[in-house]
Structures are given as C-alpha cells and as structure tokens.
Structure 1
Amino acid sequence: MFQISVVNRTSSIAEREMHRVVRAINRQVAEDFEPYWAFGGRLRVEGPTGASADLQQLSELRGDAILYVLDSADSNDALGYHARNLSGIPYGFVFLDLCKSLGDEWSTTLSHEALELIGDPQCNLLVQGPNPDAPDRTVYHFFEMCDAVQSQCYEIDGVSVSNFVLPHYFTAGEEAGARNDFCGTGLVSFSVNPGGYIGFFDPVLGRNQQFFAHDPKAARRFQLKTQSRSGRMVLRDTISTATTGATSGNGKATGVHAAEVPTMNASTAGSPTDPIKHVVVLMLENRSFDHMLGALRESFNHAIDGVDPSSPGTNLDAKNNVTFTQQPIAAQFVRNDFKVPHEFDNVQAQVKDGMAHFVDEYRRMSPDAPVPDGDQIMAYFKDGELSALHTLAKNFVVCDRWFSSMPGPTWPNRLFVHSGTTLGDVLMPDGAFDTVRMFFGRYGQPTLYDQLDTKNISWKIYHGGVPQSIVLNTLKARLFTSHYQGMAAFFTDCKGQADAFPSYAFIEPCYFKGVDGVENDQHSPAGIAAGEQLIADVYNAIRANQPLWESTLLIVTYDEHGGFYDHVQPPTATPPDDNTANYAFDHLGVRVPAILVSPWVGVGVDHTVYDHTSVLRYACDKWQLPHLCRRTMSGPGLNPIGNFASTISLDRPRTDTPATIAATGVVQMAAAVADVPSSFHDAQTALVSYAELVQQEQQRKTAGPQPAAAVLAARAADGAAPPPIDRRALNVERWMFSAQSTSRPPASPKEITVPADASAAPSGTSPDGSGVTPVTPVPPVTPAPAVAPKAPPAPPARRNQS
C-alpha cells in the first residue's frame, strides 16, 4: 500500500483541521479512486522536524512519498509540485498563497497532489489518442491524473477534494453510460474541461507542443503556477518528447518518463515571438460590471459571474423601507438630476454588509429624489441592449474580476491606469476654480509613458476633447506634442501601415458635448448610445486593417462603477506605495466591465483578479520596463495583481472574429440629448477649470496671441460672472484642438451630429478654414503656487459626481 507522509508547515492550519482533511482524502482514495484504478494509497499526518524541509534527507518521511503544506512558495528552496529527489523518493508541495491566487481550496490541491503521487510520482504518462483540434490525426498526450479536470472538485465529509479522470477517458469512442471523470461532468475522451491542461506531441509536426488552446482560464492557471517567485520557477515536471510504443494498441496508459518541461505554445509578453505589437486601451466612465455585462450570465455564459435572475442582488432603502432588486430595466438615458454618488466615503458605505448600501447612499445624497429611483441604482441592461459591448463580450474574453483600483471617483482611478498611484489622494476637486487650482501641478509621479520613452517605444493618447490625463505633470508637458492627438488621428492611423501605429495607445472619450456636440464617455446622466458608437468605431477601425488587427490587443474597460450596484465584494490589494495617510489602499474598488479583444485570445471568461494597474503590469512586463508601483511587483509580502499576458494563448490568430460590430440607438439618443438642457456635473467642471489653467500656463510660455483665447471671465478685472460652463468647455476645446492641429478632428468616422446650443456655439469659419472662431483674449491670471506632491493641502470635503 503506497503511503504518503503529510507535513503541515503552515502557520494557519490547525493540526485538528489537517487530520480532518487527510481523513476525507483517505476515504476518497479508498472508496472512489482505488476501485476504478485498481491501485491506491493512504495519507498520514507527520510532525515537522527541523526548521525547514530538507529534500535530500526527507527526515519527516515515514512512508513511500511526502507532501509538504506551506504558507508560501517563497518559504522553501524546492522546485516543483511533485517530483523525485536525488534518491528517487517522490515528494510534493501545497502552497497556500498559490491556492489563493488560483481560487482553489487547499484541501482540493492536497487531494490533487496526493492522487497524482499515487498514480505516478512524476505524473508523466504518454497516451496515444486523437488530436483535439483534428480528431483524424493521432498524437501523444501528456497526461496527469487530475489535470484534465483541473479546478473541479466535490465534497467528502464537508471537505473539498479533487475530481479525477477514469480509465474510460482513454477510449477513442464514447460508450453509453460510461463516465470519463469521477464527477460525471460530461468530459469527452482525450479532452479537458475549462481550466484544465492538455499537452500533446504531434509526430506530423515534429516537436510541436500544444497547450490548452482556446482556454484562457487554463492558460491563466498555468501562468500563475509557472511565474517566477523570488527568482525561482515553480514548475511541474511533464513529459515533452514522444516515445515509440508508449501505449498499447488499445490506448491504455503506460508510465513513460522524460526530463524536459513543456512551455506554452503562445509566447509570454515581451518575447521575440510575442504576437502583440500594439496595445490599445479604451477607458470609458462610471459603470459597474453587473450594470453593463451582468445579463450575459443567464443569456450567454453561466461561467460569467453576473446577475443570477433566480437569486438577484437586493438593497434596502432604509429611509422608505423599500427593497430594490436587480432587474433588467436599465435606462439608456436618465434625467440630468439623477446623479449617483461614488465619492470615496460613498463607496466605503456602499460596499459594507455585502454590497448592501448602494440605494441607501443614493437616498442619503438625494433625500428628495423619487423613491422609484432605487430601481435604476440596481438595474442592468438586457442582453443586446448594448450591442457593441455585448458583441465584444460574446466573441472575446470577459474579465469578470476586474475592479477599479480604489473605492473612489474618476481622477484617482484614472491616475492608477497611467502611473499606478494617486500619491495618497482619495478625492478629486469639485468644480470650484479655487479648489481645482489646489490640484494644479500636484501629480508629479512617473508615468508609463515616461518609461516607454526610455526605450523609444512609441505611444499616443487619443482624445475626444479635453484629455483628463493632463492632470499628470509629465503628460501636461507633452500636450502640444505629437503624443496627443484627436480621435480623427486615431482613425487615420488605423488606416496606415501597422508598423507605424503606436505600440501603446490610450483612448480618452469626450467628457462633455464641446466641439463635436456629443458626450460619449457613458458617464451618467449622459446616455449610453454615443459611447456604444465609440466602442464600435474603435473596434471596426482596428479590425479593418488586417495586419494591425493581427498584432493588436484592445482593452475595453471603465474607470469606476459610477455608483451603480455590483454584487461582488471588492478584494484586498497591495498598497501601491507608502502614501497611505488618507487611506491604506489595501482594497480595490467596485468591479467594472472589462473585455480583452484580439484575434490571439479565445472566447470565454477570465476570473483572474485585475485592476487598472494590470495594464501597467502587462506593459512593463512586455517591454521589460521598471514597475511603477508595488501592486504590480512580485516579492516577499507582495500579492501582485493579475497579468493578462496568459490569455494571449492561441498559436495562431483566429479567423472567426466579427468583421464589424454595430451600435444601436445612436439616432434616438442624439435626439434625446438634444432635447435636454445641459447640466454639468463636478467632474466636467473640474476638468474644464484645469484645462483653463493649462491654457493660461501655455500663454505665459508662448509669445504672441494664442489660436484661441483664455476664457476665465470669472477672473477678469471687472469681476463679471463667468460664462456658462458649456460655453467654457466649448471654448477650451476649440483652443486645445487648434493648438494641436490646424483642423478640428471629427468625433468618429461616422460623426454623430447633435444640434449645439446656439448661444454656446459661434458659427462661421476662421480665416484658416478650420471652423474655429477666435475669441478675444482676456488678461491671464497667475495661478496659485503648485501644491507640493508630498504635503498637499487637504481638498475641502464635497460631493461631486465624478
């Protein structure tokens, strides 16, 4: 009887619990595993000896093999999950931190490793069978006892144990009533469930190895298990070469071993064969995952952690004693005074008690609003109502664990995607000019773009008007360089040579009507349809250029949840730096929609925990750049945020991706927006005020009159009242576009025309034919001194709707 010694070297698992788990696994081996495979074993808990595991002596060994359970893969000097030491004795490991990263119970992993040690200490079996992608061809499969059903489990005596395959798995045909795995989940012979591994040697193609094709979940798990930890590789020995006569004629497994370790067929980011040459990030505004993509769980893919109609999320309006339930009744356009709170303290309150106070916070901030407004806080869009976003979700990879980087508003979360830190800020300025002045010059931290410049890696920020990214000092300094371009330049660049397209591109939508007369950021109360059109136009422009398409990863996501309900509790996170006086930054914000779009990714769901710094981690890993914050770093005491490089796992680009996608409701939305009076929220006003300060700064640096004028009438000597905010926004956009280019870029290839307010939009054509009418300058005003980054004055408390 094969016996495995189990040694508990953790600081968190009590001996009583370890014995309880081992008893359950012993029942699994004796009652479930052994009757099918005709061999078995037993586990026995041993006391640890010495300060650490010694793989040469194996002093705790009392049987034939040994399994160590440790807190972290960084706490030992061993390689591998299961292998043999130099004396030929099988050993293995269960790492609690890795189990957590994978989302597995440690007991399931202990069961998994025990079954594979019992089956074969090296777990390297070579089995002849059909090629999963071409069943008429015979290949040699690398087989491990539990990997085909990786991450599947069942319970014995309340303990989660690993599923495993049965002998029938190795039959070429399916037999009625037979099972391929113990749980009976419908596993097909020589195939794998989502999240499982499969590797095979194809003799027709020589040494070509294939791994988990079209399965981002399996690729992610493999990447997590093979990532570097303190300079070491945590690897599993697996066979990599074919051996003649490895199976008998009936396809039964034989125990053939080899020494090499296979690698994923798709290269990791940054390698010479990395197919992704261009990364495009489109970040929209203020919508939660459930609100935008939650319906797809029921209608498209139950693996998506969206809205369960049989058990929807609920919130109680305590003031009115009314319970609101998630329903598919989201409105594409809500009234202008429907502003959902999502400031730092609002979000802190919303997520308490299991995401129970979204409606309460709305009621607290809008006590006189109609009671039925709670419906929209909890509402989500039906499948198909967001044609562009839903089409991408159904054809590429949905990331259903992508969270905003902190529980708070727009500016801090957007700072994270560019630089990995807010320098400790959890608020952003309200619309008051003097408050905005306090933030001017505040953010001097390094950005991803600075890192890209050090290696001459090309980048651009495309925008629909005033880009919010200019609140970062180093980006503000580049505003009038070729790095900043209007959206017309994006669509032009997409038509050119793929090699000339920037390696990294970030797209900022239009945050207010401005020059183009349409706000397409999807920020509530703005409508959804114009942003849908932007998503469609961006995808279609990239997709129309085949070389560009086949070398691009498009990331579509949102900066924060905007106050709309989501049912998933935000997880803990590593603080990005030591700026923790205002907040520890040890939790992420509310979950937001995110989709990875490329011909190099499959169709599916990625459950990895991501936030906006995952973009930084991917880019820095890809181009071998220094990491910008601790949240993206590996090392002792750090829990790095996910890197989606492993989802780029196909060995060839897909040919089944949509040639174009459509956005619905644009005409109706344009009419609706035109009929509603302009109503600026604080985030828009703050950005306009910030841009006006940039305009003044630029005027001071440049001799002679500017293409357009300063518009700070509020600061004029006569003390006149400021012009309406929509006029200010229009003027500052005109100035910015004309300073960057001699012609105004359109909003998109299919420009959405919405009648502008006649009082805010001067007509006529300027002498240069640009359509930009100069405005008479007013004397510039010297702003207050910039706030020192390490000791900023505390912004006044307020409630904006950023």
Structure 2
Amino acid sequence: MSQSSPEKRSCDFLICRHQKEDTYALYRVDPEAEELLTSVSLSAGVSFDCHWRMAQIGGYLLQWSPLCKPHGIEGYQFNLVAFDPDSSNPLQGPAIESGFWEKTKFWGKYRSTYSSNLDEGQYLDLTPMTSFVLSMIPAKGRGTFELWSFDPQGVLDFKSDPLPASYSPQNGFPLIKSGHTLIPIGNYVLDLLPEPNHYRLWSFDPQLETPLSLPAVQQGRWDKVDKDSELTAIGSHVLEWNAAKGHYRLWGFNPEHADVLTGPVREGKLPSTIGAGSVLTGYQTRVPVQSELATTPGTMDFMRSKIKHVVYYMLESRSFDNVCGWLYEQGDQGCHYLGSQEPFEGASIEDFNYDGDQKVFVSKYKNGQLSAEWNLVALDQDPFHDTTDNLQQMFSEESGYWDRAKPDMGGFILNNANAQVMQTFSPEQLPVLNGLARHFGVSDRWFCSMPGGTDVNRAFSLTGSAFNMLGTWEGGSIYTNWPESSHRQSLWKTLWSHGITDWKIYNSVLWENEVFTYQLYLKGQVPSVDTNPTQFLSSIDQFKQDARHGNLPAFSYLEPAWIAPKGATSYHPGGDLVPGERELNEIYEAIKSGPGWENTLLVITFDKNGGIYDHVVPPYAQKPWPNDLNNGFAYDLMGPRVPTVMVSPWIKQQSVVRAEGEIPFDSTSFAATLLEWFGVPRPMWGLGDRINIAPTFEAVLQADQPREGAPTLTPPYDKSFPPMK
C-alpha cells in the first residue's frame, strides 16, 4: 500500500482463548500492516467460560456449552451473539438468541452412542459452513453428521433456535472420522487427517446428500507446514502457528493451487499471550466504509455512502445486439468509457450467419421504424435456447465446446431454422431501454452466465450457480415440490445470515400459483421467511407506490409479467415489446418521482440471450462448484451478451462500463456488487467460486454531484398498442 493511499481498516479478527483459563484476548489481523496481529483494547478482567466453544456463523458468533443437565435433561446451552470488536467485552455482546439444545436434537431419538468413546457427547462438534452448520459425531469407522440451516431469527424480535431445521438428514461420511480436524474456508473445508501433515480439501455443497462432496478437490501431504503447528482460518487466509516456537506463518488459500496453501504471505513472532494451551478462532466482521474513499466517485465506498436503495429488474431472452446494438450507431462522441477505452461494441450489418449456402446479415426489424401498421414483435416464435441449443449456436463445429475451441457465433440460424434471429430493434423502436442506456449507463461487455435457459441463468444471478442443472424446472410437480429438497443458498440467505432483512421481492404475476423467484430460489432456505413470506413479497404495483412515497427497502428484486400472447412485460420473444417498454418506463418514473431518487440505483438486465444472435464471443469462465458436471457440460463457459443498463443521478450521461481486468461482467456480477455494497466479506458469501471472483460495477457511479434534470421518455406504440395520451 502506498503512503498516499487511504488507510484500509481490516475486518479480520483473531480471538485468543485458553483451554484452562477464562481470560481472552482479541487481535486485529491485517496482512498489509506493519504488524500482522494488533492487540485490541478490552476492559480489564474480561472473561469467557473456557469450557464453552464458539465459531462464527454468518454475521454472528455462536457459543455453546459442554454437555450439561440443568433440568434433568441432557443437552447444551447456547448463545448467539452480535460480535462487536469495538466493544469493551465482545464475547459477552448482546445475545440475539439464547437457549438449550437437547442432546437428542443432534444424536437422534433411536440411539445414544455412535462410537466406543465413553465421552462421545461431552462436547458438541459444530462446524460453520457459511450459512449452515454441520454437526459431527466422529467415530473410527464413520463420521455421523447432519447439516442444519442457520436462521438468526432474533433479528425479527422473537427468540428461538438458530438451528431450527435440518437441511439434510443425518448420514455418515465414509472418509471423515475420529481424529480429523475440519477447518472451513469459504465454500471449502480443509480436512486435517490424523497422519501428520496429511490433508484433504472438500467442496462444501449443501444440496448434496453428502455435503462435503466426493471426490475430494485435493489431497496430499504438506512438506512446508510444521507437523507440530496448528492451523486457524481467518477470512481468506490460513494462520499456521506454533506455540512452542512462538512463531507464525500466514498462508494464502487457493483451492486450485497444487497444495492449497500459497505463500507464506507473512511470517513472524507470535504475541506473548498466544502460547501453550491457546485456542484461536477467526472472525470476519462486515467491511466498514472507508471515510477517505466515501467521497471518491467510482469506489465501492462511494456507492455505499451515496446509494441507499438498489433495484434489480431482470427481463427475458434478448441479446445485446438485438435490443441495444444500435445505441451509438451515429457515433459514440461524448461517451464516458469505464474499464477500457475500446469503441462501443454495437451491432453491425456486416455480421452474418449462413442459412444453407446463403449469408443472412444482421438487419433492423421493419427498417427500425415504428408504425401503427404492424406490431413490435419480429420473432414469430420463441427461439431454441437450452444449453445444447446455445452451444450449437455458439460453435459451428459440433465438438467445439468439448475441444475448448473459441466460439464463432455461427450456428444461430442453423439451430433455429429461422433467419429472424438475426433481426434487431432500433433505439426508435425501443426508446425507453435505449433512452435509459444513453442518458445513464450501459455495459456492452456483460454476458449471461452460461449457455442455457431461464431457470439456470436466473439461478446463477441469485445463487452463483445453476444447481448443477440444465434445462428448466419451472412447471409441474418438479416446480411445485422444488423447495422441499435441499439446494444451494441464494443471496437472500447470505443476507439473512448476516442480519440483513431490509429487502423485498416484487412480482407482476403468479407463475403456477407461486411467486416464481421465491419458489425456485428462496423458499425452503430460511424458516423465518417461510413462516411469514408476505412480509418479503409484494406486487409490482406496490413497488411503484413504495418508490413514489420513499418506502423502498434497501434491496428490491422485480419480476416482470412472464410469457403471454399479449401484455407480457418481460420482453420475451413471441410477445409484443410495447408493454415491456411501458412497464419499464413506469418503474423508472416511479423511482424518479420519489424522494429516494438521488439515493437509488436501478439495474436493468436480461437473464439470457434467448437463442437470439449476438456477435461478441463469450469467454470461458470459472466453474461455480468444483464437482459440477452435467451431460458433459462443466458450467465453465459464459453465454452470449445481454444488455445491462444502470440508472442513477450519480451516473454520467452516456457511460459505457466494462469490468477492469480479464474477467468480464456476467450475471454473478450483480450479486457480487450487492453483497459488497452491504459490506459482507467475500469468504462469507457461500455462493460458489464464480461469484467469488466476479467483477463489480461500482465504477459506473462517476458523477461528483447528483445530476439534475432526469429525462422524460416516451414509450413506443404499434398496431396493438396505440400511442399513449
């Protein structure tokens, strides 16, 4: 860090306790500071029962006792604490929840022991897994486990159990047994075997029957780690410490590295308070806003200080070329390029696909004109857009993906047997979407997360992966019963686990009697929400009222009206685009006319290209989960570009934003930006590897002052929808 850079306050901490004493110490951990471990001042004589155990889960500290029998029933007392490192006694912070777990909660009602260890139940073995907790009863031949959903229900002002429901039933690990030490690090678990310096690395996947999923990501033996040292995870690092030698080494963690640990990043002498018998626990707080950067446009701290409401509106099935490709057809003079200075990557009439032996070039639907003589439809039917179809559209050679070839974007007509996929719309035909893009900001380097359809790409945007699924599951019994089985968590569960409850899903219509997004990506994950879902679900009309009256939550997720022959607002192919434009304009006007306009960021995007042509080649990408593979597809390729428009008075007119670095934006970039805006540290997200490296787009907020005079836009018209009066 240069001397001119503002000081960044670390959010990593190390709690030092002792096996036989109730005293404790607290250290701030900063790999960039002169001293790695800086003692935090506490009140004199602070203490905490040395027999109790503790671990961070979500944004809280879970504490639990050894086996006790206070009322004649065996079990464990617990506290869920709001850990505040700035308090004088942080381990005795305010209890969000407190109570008593009966032993049978974890052991079951049908057997009292699982091993030959007579003290088997003396201590409860709990391992935090981002927003879940794994309970273990290790034996020589079998590691009995159960996965619990974490729900800090006290945030809604009623006391209960932070582990209210089993997420996957009791089962047994075949390779994790007694003598193993489990160290969770983000989406992974480092398994230290009884043999000195031997390890395995597991991927934690809550949707699997065995959540530490086989095969192991890595296994081996370290030569560089002292066999007498202990390991403690702190954020995205691993602290190797040797009390006898008074020495530490701080390692980076990289699951793709040859032996997981990289570095060392730092090494040095341990503080004198860390010695024989010490027990170390890492903790990450929410990332604080740096006041020095809060006034610097383009930084996350600036976004966190200026933006109080984020609105996310995901539409359907349009490529960038199809609806925004002609945005700067007349030239990009006056554009503010962010991330790279390359010219705007719009549509071109020189781009083509073959229809048999004939070239079919990109063209404008009805020459880009509006008229009351025709409808704004273009496509007679929905193009094919499942994963196998998208791969054929992106690769002219059938084996292109499996040969790791570069997509040539040459198979759209061949796959669809329809040249209409080469047609596009002009800014005159879609004046609201393009008007917002021109007056505020747009990204021309934003890809859907994978070749494929609605459900998988919306899953990526909200959960960081496609659940290792292909196709769709939005109808029939699989849709109805979907919440009854275990799935990877959504960004809402991540927020909830950190005490962030100021959000709402606004839907336009029910899909098979359910709110689509809630049904597929949230229901079944947070018992408190499922108990009272109406508190977090509302209508799109209510959103407009909330926006006009200044009652928006911090995060609003908007659903359009889905597929319909007439009146759908999702922009879906096969339907008229005028209703979608009008609805988008109403949403914009509601926000613009409300008292929160200056503090609101509206993000408009599309879930996928929907089988419609785009000329920009999508890149290969990070797999979301190490063991994901379905029908030969490894979820390591982005799909074609989709438009993403950003609206805020803090965005300069004609902004064009691209990601810095080699990784472009995809749908996971929204969730990454949202979670960083809320201050949740990346190792605590629990949403997979793709989102962990996803670029964020706070750089689009470049205005020193909020712009005045937001434009008024006029929606389009056509034969079915005459001009509005």
Normalising by structure 1, what TM-score? 0.46
Equivalent position amino acid for 2:488 in 1: Q
Q: Give 2:559's aligned residue.
A: 508
Could you tell me how far apart the structure 2 residues matched to 1:526 and 1:429 are? 22
The alpha-carbon distance between structure 1 residues 661 and 671, as it changes in their structure 2 partners (threshold 3 A), is closer
Query: What corresponds to 2:411 in structure 1?
Result: 357
Other-structure match for 1:326: 362
What corresponds to 2:388 in structure 1? 345
Letter in 1 for 2:389: N
Correspondence 1:486 to 2:539: yes
What is the CA–CA distance in structure 2 between the aligned matches of 1:322 and 1:564, rounded to whole Å?
A: 19
What is the CA–CA distance in structure 2 between the aligned matches of 1:417 and 1:273, rounded to whole Å? 21
Please tell me whether residue 288 in structure 1 is matched to residue 319 in structure 2: yes
Using a 3 Å threshold, how does the CA distance of structure 1 residues 316 and 284 change in structure 2: closer, same or farther? Answer: same
State whether residues 386 and 664 of structure 1, in contact with CA within 8 Å, keep that contact through their aligned partners in structure 2. Answer: yes
What whole-Å deviation, never above 9, does each CA across 1:417-460 have from its counterpart, x for those lacking one?
211122211211375x3565675635622111122223234101
- 1:595-644 Cα offsets, whole Å, 9 max, x none, are 1111111122112221111111101111122324344566xxxxx22200
Question: Given residue 274 of structure 1, which amino acid in structure 2 is its aligned partner?
Answer: S
| CA 1:664–1:271: 2 relative to 1, 3 Å | closer
Deviation at 1:412, TM superposition (A): 0.6
Distance 2:328 2:301 in 1: 34
The answer as to whether partners of 1:267 and 1:274 remain within 8 angstroms in 2 is: no
CA distance in 2, matches of 1:471, 1:283: 16
Alpha-carbon distance, 1:465 to partner: 0.6
Query: Is the alpha carbon distance of 1:272 and 1:521 closer, same or farther for their aligned partners in structure 2, counting shifts above 3 Å?
Result: closer
1:424 equivalenced with 2:468 (yes/no): yes
Matched, 1:598 2:645: no
Aligned counterparts, 1:23-422, within 5 A: 265-266=296-297, 268-269=299-300, 274-301=305-332, 303-309=343-349, 312-318=350-356, 321-329=357-365, 333-334=376-377, 338-353=381-396, 354-363=408-417, 373-374=418-419, 376-422=420-466
> Conserved in 2, the CA contact under 8 Å of 1:441 and 1:472?
no
Equivalent AA in structure 2 for residue 523 of structure 1: H
When residues 473 and 413 of structure 1 are mapped into structure 2, their CA distance, relative to the original with a 3 A threshold, is closer
CA distance in 2, matches of 1:346, 1:448: 29
Looking at structure 2, the residues matched to 323 and 442 of structure 1 have their Cα atoms a distance apart, in angstroms, of 48
Report how far residue 662 of structure 1 moved: 2.2
What SS class does the counterpart of residue 316 from structure 1 fall into? strand
| 1:85-136 CA distance string (max 9 Å, x none) | xxxxxxxxxxxxxxxxxxxxxxxxxxxxxxxxxxxxxxxxxxxxxxxxxxxx
The answer to whether structure 1 residue 663 and structure 2 residue 706 are counterparts is no
Residues 1:443 and 1:488: Cα distance change in structure 2 (over 3 Å): farther
Does residue 1:518 correspond to 2:567, yes or no?
Answer: yes
Amino acid at match of 1:654: R
Q: 1:472, CA displacement in angstroms?
A: 2.9
Higher CA-based Rg:
1
Aligned-residue offset at 1:382: 1.8
How far is the alpha carbon of 1:230 from its aligned partner? 6.6
Cα distance in 2 for residues equivalent to 1:463 and 1:475: 15
SS in 1 for 2:535: coil
Structure 2 unpaired stretches of 5+: 1-30, 35-236, 238-250, 254-261, 263-291, 334-342, 367-373, 397-407
Give the direction of change, closer, same or farther, for the CA distance of 1:442–1:560 in structure 2 (3 Å limit).
Answer: farther
**Secondary structure of the residue that 2:311 maps to in structure 1?**
strand
Letter in 2 for 1:474: L
What residue in structure 1 maps to residue 140 of structure 2?
Answer: none
> Structure 2 CA distance, aligned partners of 1:523 and 1:443?
30
Amino acid at match of 2:490: T
* Alpha-carbon shift at residue 555 of structure 1 (Å): 0.4
Partners of 1:560 and 1:328 in 2: how far apart? 21
The count of corresponding residues between Structure 1 and Structure 2 is 396
CA distance in 1, matches of 2:651, 2:516: 30
> 1:345, CA displacement in angstroms?
0.2
In the alignment, which residue of structure 2 is the partner of 1:610? 665
Q: Compute the displacement of 1:581 (Å).
A: 1.7
2:672 partner SS: helix
Q: Which amino acid aligns with 1:508?
A: E
Distance 2:690 2:676 in 1: 10
- Greater mean alpha carbon deviation, residues 321-330 or residues 607-616: 321-330
The DSSP-based 3-state class of the residue aligned with 1:481 is helix
Q: 1:397: Cα distance to partner?
A: 1.1
- Please list the CA deviations of residues 701-757 of structure 1 after superposition, one character each: whole Å capped at 9, or x if unmatched: xxxxxxxxxxxxxxxxxxxxxxxxxxxxxxxxxxxxxxxxxxxxxxxxx9x9xxxxx
The structure that is strand-richer by fraction is 2
Q: How has the CA–CA distance of structure 1 residues 507 and 437 changed in structure 2, closer, same or farther, with 3 Å as cutoff?
A: closer
Aligned to 1:472: 520
* Structure 1 residue 670, shift from structure 2 partner: 4.2
Query: What displacement does 1:308 show?
Result: 2.8
1:299–1:336 Cα change, 3 Å: closer
Match of 1:552 in 2: 600
Structure 1 counterpart of 2:612 = 564
Distance in structure 2 (CA, Å) of the matches to 1:481 and 1:419 = 22
Alignment of 1:635-646 (within 5 A): 640-646=693-699
Would you say the 8 A contact 2:628–2:634 is kept in 1?
yes
Q: Match of 2:518, SS?
A: helix
Where 1:490 maps in the other structure, the secondary structure is: helix
Judging changes above 3 Å, is the alpha-carbon distance between structure 1 residues 641 and 488 closer, same or farther for their aligned structure 2 residues?
Answer: same
Q: Which residue of 2 aligns with 1:151?
A: none
Matching residue's letter, 2:432: A
Identical-pair percentage: 27
Between the aligned partners of 1:389 and 1:264, the Cα distance in structure 2 is: 30
Q: Residue type matched to 2:592 in 1?
A: R
Q: Does 1:537 align with 2:568?
A: no
1:621 has 2:637 as partner:
no
| CA deviations over 1:9-36 (Å, ceiling 9, x no partner) | xxxxxxxxxxxxxxxxxxxxxxxxxxxx
Larger proportion of helix: 1
| TM-superposed deviation, 1:469 | 0.8
The reply on whether 1:652 has 2:673 as its aligned counterpart is no
| Contact 2:543/2:552 (<8 A) preserved | no
Contact 2:299-2:698 at 8 Å conserved across structures? yes
Change (3 A) 1:384 1:443: farther
Match of 1:697 in 2: none
Give the match's secondary structure for 2:424: coil
- Deviation of the 1:78 alpha carbon: 14
Whole-angstrom distance in 2 between the partners of 1:298 and 1:552: 29
CA 1:342–1:440 in structure 2 vs 1: closer, same or farther (change >3 Å)?
same
Q: CA deviation at 1:398?
A: 1.1
Distance 1:535 1:277, change over 3 A: same
RMSD, matched Cα: 3.3
Indicate conservation of the 8 Å contact 1:378/1:565, yes or no.
yes
The one-letter code sitting in structure 2 at the alignment partner of 1:290 is D
Give the unaligned 5+ runs of structure 1: 1-75, 80-227, 233-260, 364-372, 635-639, 673-749, 753-802
Q: Which AA in structure 2 matches 1:599?
A: P
Alignment partner of 1:553: what SS?
strand
- Supply the distance in 1 between the matched residues of 2:481 and 2:538 (Cα, whole angstroms): 27
Instruction: Decide whether aligned partners of structure 1 residues 669 and 593 sit closer, same or farther in structure 2, where only a CA change above 3 A counts.
Output: farther
Q: Would you say the 8 A contact 2:303–2:677 is kept in 1?
A: no
